[in-house]
Amino acid sequence: MANDTDLIHPLWVRLTHWINALAIVVLATSGWRIYDASPFFAFAIPREITLGGWLGGAIQWHFAAMWVLVGNGLIYLACNIVSGRLWRKFFPLSPRAFLADVLAAVKGRLSHVDLSHYNMVQRAAYLFVMVDSVLLVLSGLVLWKSVQFPILRELLGGYEAARREHFLAMAALVAFAAIHLLMVALVPRTLLAMIRGR
C-alpha cells in the first residue's frame, strides 16, 4: 500500500481482483450444474458451459471455490477499508451525477483520461457488485447450513427463498460481469492498468 499514489491500482487490488475473477468463474459454472440437478425455473443451463461433470463434482468445485471467494473478498474489503481507499475511490455517490454520467456514457462522451478516478457509473457498479457478493455468500450459507444459521435463514425468508435469492444474486453478478467486460473491451487501457498497475 506504500506506493498507492503512483499506481492506478495497487498490487493488492490487482491480485485480489484476478483471484476473485477466477473464483467467480468456477463458482458460477459449477453453480449452474448444481442448479440443473433440480431447476426451479422453466430452463436448465446448457451442460457444455457448466463445471463439474456430475452433481458431486460440481459441488466439490463450488465448495472449494467458495473459500477462495470469501477469503480473498475479506482481504480486499479489509485492505480497502483500512487504507481508506473505499471512501476515496467509491464515495461520494450522487444520484444526479450518476444520471449525468450514464447519459454521457450513452453519448460516448464519458471521459477516461484519468483511470485512477472512477466515475459515478463505475462507483455504483463496483459498490453494487460488492454488496451483491455479500448477499451471494450469505444466501449460500443458508443453503449450505440452514439449520446452523437460524437468524440468517429467517432473515432471508427460509431455505427455499434463499435458493431463489442465491440464483438471482448470481444472475445480477453475471450481468455485471458481462457489462464489465464490454466496458473493458471499449477502453482496453483499463485492462493494462489492472494488470500492470499503471
Partner 1 sequence: MIKKPFRQLAIDGDLVLKDATKEISRRLDQPTRRAFLQRSLSLGGLSLLSGCSLVDDSSVENALMTVSRFNDKVQAWLFDPNRLAPTYPDSMITRPFPFNAYYGEDEIRHVEEESYRLEVTGMVADKHAWTLAELRAMPQTDQITRHICVEGWSAIGKWGGVPFASFLRRVGADLSAQYVGFKCADDYYTSIDMPTALHPQTLLTLTYDSQPLPPRYGFPMKLRMPTKLGYKNPKHIQAIFVTNTYPGGYWEDQGYNWFGGS
What span, in angstroms and rounded, lies between the C-alpha atoms of 149 and 82?
29
In the complex, the smallest distance separating the C-beta of residue 12 from partner 1, rounded to whole angstroms, is 20
Q: Does residue number 59 form part of the binding site for partner 1 (CB under 8 A)?
A: yes
Answer with the entry of ligand HEM, partner 1, none that 148 interacts with (C-beta below 5 to 8 A by kind). Answer: partner 1
Distance CA 138, CA 144 (A): 10
Exposed/middle/buried for residue 196 (C-beta within 10 Å: 0-12, 13-18, 19+): exposed
Give the shortest CB-50-to-ligand HEM separation in angstroms. 17
C-alpha span between 17 and 31 (Å, rounded):
20
With binding defined as CB under 6 A, does residue 190 bind ligand HEM? yes
C-alpha cell at 59: 459441488
Stretch of 19-27, 35-43, 48-56, 153-161 contacting ligand HEM, by CB under 6 A: 19-27
Among partner 1, ligand HEM, none, residue 146 binds (CB under 5-8 Å by kind): partner 1
Options 122, 139, 153, 170; binder of ligand HEM; rule CB under 6 A? 122
Torsion of CA 193, 169, 58, 163, to 10 degrees: 170
173 binds ligand HEM (CB under 6 A): yes
Query: Which residues, 6 or more positions from 82, have their beta carbon under 8 angstroms from its beta carbon?
Result: none
- Name the phi and psi angles at 175, rounded to 5: -60, -45
| 150 binding partner 1? (CB under 8 A) | yes
- Binding residue count for partner 1, defined by CB under 8 A: 37
| Binder of residue 144, out of ligand HEM, partner 1, none (CB less than 5 to 8 A by kind) | partner 1
Residue type, 169: A
Place of cell 457498479: 125
Enumerate helices (H) and strands (E) in the chain, giving the number of each. 8, 0
Site for ligand HEM in 128-157 (CB under 6 A): 129
> Between 35 and 76, whose beta carbon lies closer to partner 1?
35
Binding site for ligand HEM (CB under 6 A): 13, 17, 20-21, 24, 115, 118, 122, 126, 129, 173, 177, 180-181, 184, 190-191, 194
